[in-house]
Amino acid sequence: MTVRVTIPPNLRDLARTPAEISVDVAGEATQRSVLDALEARYPMLKGTIRDHVTQVRRPFVRFFACGEDFSHESPDAPLPASVAAGTEPFLVVGAIAGG
């Protein structure tokens, strides 16, 4: 399936991509499978969204979809069907922090 992923400006600059990227995801669409596909296509994003080793989300990164916050959901939980269907994007967001 093809999943639409939106990444924040700093990571667009790093990966040299537009705001929204389409990635081919094998199997069920979950945070892990979507991010695996994203990092496979753009290896320079490894370590910028999740820790290299633990694969834990970086503290100031959030995952939104369909108006909901999925940041604290299991990385293996299924994402909404509309994300899997490509009608809604999976949003990788830099949290508002600082002044």
Partner 1 sequence: MSRVRVLVGTRKGAFILTSDGKRQNWDVAGPFFTGWEVYHLKGSPTDPDRIYASQTSGWFGQVIQRSSDGGKTWDTPGGGMTTNPQGMPQGESNKFLYDTSPETGKPLTTHQFYDGTQRPWEFKRVWHLEPSLDDPNTVYAGIEDAALFKSTDGAASWKELSGLRGHGTGPQWQPGAGGMCLHTIILDPKNPGRIYTAISAAGAFRSDDAGATWKPINRGLRSQYIPDPNAEVGHCVHRIAMHPSRPNTLFMQKHWDVLRTDDAGENWHEVSGNLPTDFGFVVDVHAHEPETVYVLPIQSDSHHYVADGKLRVYRSRTGGNEWEALTKGLPQKDCYVNVLRDAMCVDSLDSCGVYFGTTGGQVYVSPDAGDSWTAIVHDFPAVLSVEVQTLA
Q: Tell me which residues touch partner 1 (CB under 8 A).
A: 8-11, 13-14, 39-41, 43-49, 52-53, 58, 60-61, 94-95, 97-98
List the helix and strand counts (H, then E) for the chain. Answer: 3, 5
Q: Which is nearer to partner 1, 3 or 92 (CB)?
A: 92
- The angle subtended at Cα 95 by Cα 19 and Cα 60, nearest 5°, is 110
Q: Between residues 11 and 84, which has the closer beta carbon with respect to partner 1? A: 11
Q: How far is CA 46 from CA 11, 30, 81, 86, 90, in A?
A: 11, 17, 26, 23, 17
Q: Which is nearer to partner 1, 22 or 43 (CB)?
A: 43
> Smallest gap, in angstroms, from Cβ of residue 46 to partner 1?
3
**Shortest approach of partner 1 to residue 76 CB, angstroms?**
20
H/E element, 36 = helix 31-41
Looking up tokens 């949003």 gives: 91
CB of 43 to partner 1, least distance (A): 3
In the complex, the smallest distance separating the C-beta of residue 87 from partner 1, rounded to whole angstroms, is: 28
